[in-house]
Structure 1
Amino acid sequence: MTSDEIRETFLAFFEAHEHKRQRSGSLVPAAFDPSVLLTTAGMHPLKAYFMGLEAPPAPRLTSCQKCFRTPDIDNVGVTARHLTFFEMLGNFSLGDYFKQGAVEFAWDLTLNGFGFKPEDVWVTVFEGDPAMGIGADQEAIDAWLSVGVPRERIIECPASENFWWSGETGPCGPCSELYLDRGLEFGAEDDLPGGENERFLEFWNLVFMQFDQDEQKTLTPLPNQNIDTGMGLNRMAVILQGVETVFDTDQFVPLMDLGRELATVAEPEERSLRILADHTRGMTFLIADGVVPSSEDRGYVLRRLMRRAIQHGRRIGAPHGFLPRYVDVVLDTMGTAYPELHTEKERILKWVRAEEEGFGRTLEQGLGLLEQHLEKGDLDAAAAFQLHDTFGFPIEMTVEVAAEADVTVDEAGFKVLMDEQRLRSAGGAGAKGRVGGAADLVRGLSNKPTTFTGYEHLDQHTTVAAVTERDGRTFVKLAESPFYAQGGGQVSDAGTIACDGGDCEARVADVLRAGEDQAVVVELLKGELHEGERVTAHVDRAARHATAANHTATHLLHAALRQTLGDHVRQAGSYVGPDKLRFDFTHTQRLSEAERAQVEDQINTWVLQNHPVRAMETTLDEARSLGAMALFGEKYGDVVRMVEVGDGSFSRELCGGTHVRSTAEIGVVKITAEGSSAANVRRIEALTGPGAVALLREHDAALSQAADALRTKPEGVVDAIGALQAKAKAAAKAGGGVDAGAVDRIAGEAELLDGVAVLASSVDGVGPKDLADLTDKVRNVLGEAAVAVLGSTTDGKVSLVAAAGPGAIARGVKAGAIVKVAAQVVGGGGGGKDTMAQAGGRDPEQLGAALDAARAAIQAALA
């Protein structure tokens, strides 16, 4: 069977047995699931069903889920079966059949669908664990006996082998695995399934989902007994195609062949070919699901994958620009099963080309420095940190290359330096979502979910379904609620709840979401709320309208950015409140003034055209066919809410938020800021309506004050300032270009490193010509054994100058090499002599990072 045939055989079998076929979820887990960075198992997109947070579309489901496991990156190419990206086939029962049914289905498909001989199949079951308070899984043993498996081929194994957890917390339970006995030629007579041997190959895992594990490792029975199974499609392809490794199966052969075709070395290393085949598959699917290369979280995983592929491409001698060739092959082999690869092709190629070009420029230099350290026989923490911080070498890549040279890296020391850097930059992991705890609390209040009526009503006569006090806060469950619960970037509604009798009133401080259910957090203003009480829930109309205006504006902003910058732009996060909007999006560089103006003008044109804004429910397939944009990391059911502006030709998105009825209600949109949110992610902040008008008035007032001070009209302010600047430049030139006091002050910031005075600093408002003069004078003040690097920003551009004295040059510090390192960080280039060199760049926000890179390069040269 081909891989496509294996996938279809599995899914069609379970469809024939009343299972609803599910589309694969994203590799980016849904927002309600903070337990994993990437989807690692077939059940992750279904966790809300298993946990009782949402009603499943059917009690029986089946899917082929895209999965990615980061721990396996280092094992790829070393073993015959480890992959990062893989497909997991599964069948799921949510409160329907349990162990007996799962066993019967598995046995039927194994023998009659895939053609295994019954005498070649062994199974394992959970042997029990006193510490967990669970005995042997006799129910599973009996189920296997009932379908004809002899007792001697049913092997009991410990929790390490036969108990499954979806993460640190969440659904879990005992499992039963099916193994193929490949014969004595692969092992010994006394080998058993679950042991360390090659004779028995596991191909299907049946998880009997019985428990929910909390943070204290306490197991609580789930509301329903569920079934979650997983069959690795790629593992099954190895078996059914009769090959030795997964890299010999039909999905991988074209990628392995491409590597051999691209290789210019005489005998390309098999491990490098395997790494290229696996990593290029993984990067293609990650980008298609909205991940972009960065220094944090999922973006770091992707960047590490891409950079590792680039490194191994260099090893086999692949020509520049080889990664897009791999993308094309992945699309050819996988695009039919996963059409999103074709939909996102241009976006995938954009990020792949950018990373190969960007990292390729520093790869040679970084590897050269690494090899110098390896020749000395050690690699301390400072060197590893410099490779990471200056050249973008993931520590894992440094460790891998060092291990091949039998050199140990000080990883513990590296971690200390990384922690220090995170503290300096106030970085660290993002805030954990509150969704998990909120879900438990909401479910605990009442089994009957609240009906949300906030799309239609801002005032709702309803009944208090439940009230509880916890940690000094009051939580209320309403039978019907008009309050929007925070989600999709939009903040929760504010408002009040008042008893119909007039004897109580509460202010709504927050609204907690649990799937389609909710509860409100209130502050009592008068009296008390009691279960069964009739109340009126009132949403703050002004705050809701301002929030709705900002939410619709984010949709218009998204559309305008895609029109102006390209289809690679995707939402990467947002904040929508009554005060402002914030929109993060994937893009590689700062918007030019012209681009920013074009985006703002386009949004306000749509606002003035008074397009209707419509929300409608439709099927997910229909929404996709209409080109509706979906938010990566959000989970969507078969029926979705789609919001379109006008005829939908420029804005159509899947969205559960609240919106204005027409664009004219927004009033006006004013962009207030545009900057970097993370690597390859930009952030725009904006105001709408009265807030935007107030800002424009403030700007008008400031301009009028400036005009008065300059004794001119507002339209003459720019010319007047230009004249003042010209006078200042003339005065500076007459005085020798650079103030002597400034030279001494800047030189005083230098530090002594191993006998050399080193300065890397920024100065304000100094043009390129004066910057060169200033740098030279500062270096002269510092002496011959000195190096100075100064940077400045003028007119939105970066200028960099490096100057090195004879003593520093003799120690290996060269101005030209130092300024090149710094220029790469600000997206520019330059060079010059060993004594002095200049460069420019396009990204002023990265000036500090560029100077840090220059300082690190100087330290490396001195070392």
Structure 2
Amino acid sequence: MASITPRSATTHAGRPRRAPRTYNLFVNTAEIRETYLSFFEERDHRRMPSASLVPSAHDPSVLLTTAGMQPFKPYFRGDERPPHPRLASCQKCFRTPDIENVGTTARHLTFFEMLGNFSIGDYFKPGAVEYALELSTRGFGFRAEDIWITVFGGDDRLGLGPDQEAIEVWRAVGVPDERIVRLGRADNFWQAGPSGPCGPCSELYLDRGAAYGRDSDRPGDDTDRFIEFWNLVFMQYELFEDGRLEPLPARNIDTGAGLDRVAMLSQGVGSVFETDYFRPLVDLGEALSGRSHGADFETTRALRILADHGRGMTFLLADGVVPSNEERGYVLRRIMRRAILQGRVLGIEETFLPRLAERTIEIAGAAYPELGREAETIAMWARSEEEAFLRTLEQGERLLGEIVRRAREGETSWIAAEDAFRLHDTFGFPYELTRELLAEEGLEVDDGGFAELMHEARAKARSGRKHAAGSASVSAGVRASARGSKSSERAVDSAGGGATDVLDHERVLDFARGAGFETRFRGYEATELETVVGALERVDGKLLAKLEESPFYPEGGGQVSDTGFVELPSGRRPRVTGVFRVGDDQALELTPEDGGGEAPEDGGAVRAVVDRSTRLATMANHTATHLLHAALRERLGTHVRQAGSYVGPDKLRFDFTHSERMSTAELADVEARVAAWISEGHPVRALETTRDEAERLGAMALFGEKYGDWVRMVEVESVSRELCGGTHVGATTEVGLFHITTETSSASNVRRIEA
């Protein structure tokens, strides 16, 4: 094994680095992952854990985590203070735009791990380039002469010329001009949307040689000869909606290197499916089907789809996504059913999705312990979804064949929307899958007609749910006087009537950011305190205020915000009608007495007082929801996970993953179990601990939520432990009585209890 020693004892920015370690040319993907993260740790980067595939509730822009920088967007935007100006991570990601290429090419995947190093106002182009080249050659073992570079070549519409700074930096580290390729905006200019931070990027490609293409091939061509393995994004501009481009005050670095691609190149194999990470999954597909990877195109494609979709399915299920017909659940259902169909192509008759999940856990469980912790739940959903689809698959395949036959007889390439809708609605064929299968036969579907039929079906379903919700009720003879829900930093849902219904959220964000300080929340230990108004602004007839210290709990985690008042020296009491959560900060919505009168003064002393009766009722409700969650998992199984909640002073609503309607007996058992725990008087404690320690203790986390190194864990002694930022009673006897009023469907494979 060749020994690799880092070059210098200081970082590019001149900071002393920890004592360098010796690197070895690795043989497996796990070593590549660790080599990358250790390399940047030694160069003064903070190693960050992977966030969930389910994005934080505060980032509604995407269904799933699609990039390594996504969990760090609040740091890049300046909404939150990063734990360190230099970060490094290996982030779980999932993308579907190229799903139809999966299996067809050597490198396209749905789920992947993105290695990334990030600088937030610290080093810029010289540092990013030096690190990338050093790790590529001295860490990954790539020959310097095989590495090609692309840079931004300029764009007239942006008013920018070539990224000469990047070109000069690459020249300075020894890359000759003939291996620096200038490409346009589509390839080498990064922007997250029509406006916001953006900048040119520079990509590293590895030339795999003439065996993979032509001598004339170059980076940017659609070829397997040059494989892009690392992208360096130089965020240095702000793009405005009117097209203006202005320099950012602080310039940032965002990089991404696909772990599977680096493994493919390092191990010298032809595709990502031949690496040590994927080969065991392909081997399983071969064993199940009796067919060989590489035998022919159809077999190879099908085996690769099984491997990719099986891995992606396992990670999605581990992060709390369940199969459904909506949003991310629909993405999961689509890849599961796509894999099942490819299993049919391979002649696999037995149930195989649980086997793929088991093999994935064997491969990746050491790096991602959540896979092992959720193994039972993953297997349950994999088996349930496969069995459900197989019950209708044969009939659906017959209908699909009939549709193709009629189209050919009628000499048309168009398929009626009604036929595609029937496949979706009756036989469970995801629409995109139907389109893909028909495209293989040279046929197209009426997209507009299908969308109209789906809209009509959803309208009918909503109407039916409203009617059912008004009539369903369950009673086991136990009544609630106080009820609850769970909290984990998720924005309160619309039924809460929170402050976000009154004021524009962007106005609140701008106000809080512009205040220049963060409010210290003291609401866990106090409901009344003397404090100072640190910032004040009038918006749409309302007052926004920031206190230096605040006892008011901000809306979040499904829990409504506190209400109350701030008392002025004159005795006047403007009401607190809402409390906004802004990252770790907060802002109050104030309504002056009688709609007018005296308002607080910026810098003035006030007494902040929480409405204690509302707070106490909400605390009881919140603890009750933890009890409900624990009772559901005990009665129905550990696959039960929170999928949403609302908790106020007068009621709770709890959404949870479960595939079937609960029976009257199950509901009675759950209700009785919660009532028993309430009467037993279990102590309730909240403590700050490390994320690792909380996981070791088995604390439940809310999927999709972003947690730091330190977390708040709420323990109901001998009953449950959950990561939770909400307010709770001191003992379960304070919850009061408990009664379930309704149990309905919230979405596919998601049930809803109201109490």
Q: Is the TM-score greater than 0.5? A: yes
Matched, 1:590 2:671: no
Paired residues of 1:493 and 1:510 also in contact (CA < 8 A): yes
Aligned partner of 1:604 in structure 2 is: 675
| Structure 1 residue 618, shift from structure 2 partner | 0.5
Alignment RMSD (CA, Å): 2.3
Matched, 1:640 2:676: no
Matched, 1:308 2:338: yes
Paired residues of 1:438 and 1:514 also in contact (CA < 8 A): no
Matched, 1:617 2:688: yes
| Structure 1 residue 529, shift from structure 2 partner | 2.6
CA spacing shift, 1:438–1:579, aligned 2, 3 Å: farther
Instruction: State the distance in 2 between where 1:347 and 1:188 align.
Output: 48
| Structure 1 residue 219, shift from structure 2 partner | 5.8
CA spacing shift, 1:62–1:439, aligned 2, 3 Å: farther
| Structure 1 residue 407, shift from structure 2 partner | 2.4
| Structure 1 residue 221, shift from structure 2 partner | 5.6
Aligned partner of 1:407 in structure 2 is: 443
3-state SS, counterpart of residue 505 of structure 1:
coil
3-state SS, counterpart of residue 46 of structure 1:
helix
Q: Among residues 722, 731, 736, which one is paired with 1:667 in the alignment? A: 736
| Structure 1 residue 223, shift from structure 2 partner | 5.8
| Aligned pairs (5 A) from 1:54-69 | 54-69=80-95
Q: Among residues 449, 454, 457, which one is paired with 2:526 in the alignment? A: 457
3-state SS, counterpart of residue 751 of structure 2:
strand
Aligned partner of 2:219 in structure 1 is: 193
Instruction: State the distance in 2 between where 1:492 and 1:340 align.
Output: 32
CA spacing shift, 1:9–1:265, aligned 2, 3 Å: closer
Q: Give, as a single letter, the amino acid of the residue that structure 1 aligns with 2:644.
A: G
How many residue pairs align between the two structures?
682
Q: Among residues 422, 426, 432, which one is paired with 1:396 in the alignment? A: 432
3-state SS, counterpart of residue 56 of structure 1:
coil
| Higher relative contact order (Cα pairs below 8 Å, separated by 6+ residues) | 2
Instruction: State the distance in 2 between where 1:407 and 1:192 align.
Output: 35
| Structure 1 residue 139, shift from structure 2 partner | 2.7
Aligned partner of 2:314 in structure 1 is: 284
Q: Among residues 698, 714, 727, which one is paired with 1:627 in the alignment? A: 698
Q: Give, as a single letter, the amino acid of the residue that structure 2 aligns with 1:238.
A: M
Instruction: State the distance in 1 between where 2:240 and 2:617 align.
Output: 39
3-state SS, counterpart of residue 654 of structure 2:
strand
| Structure 1 residue 131, shift from structure 2 partner | 2.9
Aligned partner of 2:479 in structure 1 is: none
3-state SS, counterpart of residue 669 of structure 1:
coil
| Structure 1 residue 420, shift from structure 2 partner | 2.5
Matched, 1:515 2:583: yes
| Aligned pairs (5 A) from 1:437-516 | 437=506, 440-502=509-571, 504-516=572-584
Task: Show CA shifts across 1:49-74 (max 9, x none).
Answer: 22222222222211111100021222
Q: Among residues 248, 251, 273, which one is paired with 2:274 in the alignment? A: 248
Instruction: State the distance in 1 between where 2:287 and 2:319 align.
Output: 29
Q: Among residues 113, 133, 141, which one is paired with 2:167 in the alignment? A: 141
Q: Among residues 28, 39, 45, which one is paired with 2:71 in the alignment? A: 45
Q: Give, as a single letter, the amino acid of the residue that structure 2 aligns with 1:630.
A: A
CA spacing shift, 1:217–1:254, aligned 2, 3 Å: farther
3-state SS, counterpart of residue 552 of structure 2:
coil
Aligned partner of 2:129 in structure 1 is: 103
Task: Show CA shifts across 1:12-39 (max 9, x none).
Answer: 1111112121111100001111111100
Task: Show CA shifts across 1:188-235 (max 9, x none).
Answer: 455432233433221111112335667777666656322211000111
Instruction: State the distance in 1 between where 2:547 and 2:163 align.
Output: 42
Please, which moves more after superposition, 456-465 or 562-571? Answer: 456-465
Q: Among residues 608, 616, 626, which one is paired with 1:537 in the alignment? A: 608
3-state SS, counterpart of residue 173 of structure 1:
strand
| Structure 1 residue 98, shift from structure 2 partner | 1.6
Instruction: State the distance in 2 between where 1:408 and 1:10 align.
Output: 45
Q: Give, as a single letter, the amino acid of the residue that structure 2 aligns with 1:685.
A: E
Q: Among residues 553, 572, 576, which one is paired with 2:643 in the alignment? A: 572
3-state SS, counterpart of residue 123 of structure 1:
strand
CA spacing shift, 1:196–1:471, aligned 2, 3 Å: farther
Matched, 1:387 2:400: no
Aligned partner of 2:618 in structure 1 is: 547
Q: Give, as a single letter, the amino acid of the residue that structure 1 aligns with 2:440.
A: E
Aligned partner of 2:9 in structure 1 is: none
Instruction: State the distance in 2 between where 1:361 and 1:168 align.
Output: 45
Structure 1: which 5+ residue stretches go unaligned?
687-863
Q: Which has the larger radius of gyration?
A: 1
Identity %: 59
CA spacing shift, 1:244–1:602, aligned 2, 3 Å: same
TM-score (normalised: structure 2) = 0.86
Paired residues of 1:25 and 1:66 also in contact (CA < 8 A): yes
Paired residues of 2:142 and 2:266 also in contact (CA < 8 A): no
Aligned partner of 1:71 in structure 2 is: 97
| Structure 1 residue 563, shift from structure 2 partner | 1.0
Aligned partner of 1:296 in structure 2 is: 326
Task: Show CA shifts across 1:673-700 (max 9, x none).
Answer: 11111111111111xxxxxxxxxxxxxx
| Structure 1 residue 170, shift from structure 2 partner | 5.5
Matched, 1:677 2:746: yes
Task: Show CA shifts across 1:698-757 (max 9, x none).
Answer: xxxxxxxxxxxxxxxxxxxxxxxxxxxxxxxxxxxxxxxxxxxxxxxxxxxxxxxxxxxx
4+ aligned runs moved over 6 Å, structure 1 = 214-218, 265-268, 430-436
CA spacing shift, 1:438–1:64, aligned 2, 3 Å: farther
Q: Among residues 650, 663, 667, which one is paired with 2:719 in the alignment? A: 650
CA spacing shift, 1:459–1:291, aligned 2, 3 Å: same
Paired residues of 1:33 and 1:436 also in contact (CA < 8 A): no
| Structure 1 residue 404, shift from structure 2 partner | 2.2
CA spacing shift, 1:170–1:281, aligned 2, 3 Å: farther
Instruction: State the distance in 1 between where 2:453 and 2:624 align.
Output: 42
Q: Among residues 60, 67, 83, which one is paired with 1:34 in the alignment? A: 60
3-state SS, counterpart of residue 131 of structure 1:
coil
Matched, 1:421 2:495: no
| Structure 1 residue 355, shift from structure 2 partner | 0.5
Structure 2: which 5+ residue stretches go unaligned?
1-26, 408-413, 466-492
Q: Give, as a single letter, the amino acid of the residue that structure 1 aligns with 2:580.
A: L
Instruction: State the distance in 2 between where 1:256 and 1:52 align.
Output: 44
Task: Show CA shifts across 1:630-653 (max 9, x none).
Answer: 00011000010111112xx32100
Instruction: State the distance in 2 between where 1:372 and 1:265 align.
Output: 29
3-state SS, counterpart of residue 465 of structure 1:
strand
Instruction: State the distance in 1 between where 2:235 and 2:600 align.
Output: 38
Instruction: State the distance in 1 between where 2:291 and 2:226 align.
Output: 37
Paired residues of 1:484 and 1:493 also in contact (CA < 8 A): yes
Paired residues of 1:442 and 1:512 also in contact (CA < 8 A): no
| Structure 1 residue 166, shift from structure 2 partner | 3.9
Task: Show CA shifts across 1:429-459 (max 9, x none).
Answer: x989969736632444312111111111111
Paired residues of 1:442 and 1:514 also in contact (CA < 8 A): no
Aligned partner of 1:122 in structure 2 is: 148
| Structure 1 residue 264, shift from structure 2 partner | 5.7
| Structure 1 residue 473, shift from structure 2 partner | 3.0
CA spacing shift, 1:341–1:166, aligned 2, 3 Å: farther
Q: Give, as a single letter, the amino acid of the residue that structure 2 aligns with 1:500.
A: P
3-state SS, counterpart of residue 526 of structure 2:
coil
Instruction: State the distance in 2 between where 1:216 and 1:588 align.
Output: 48
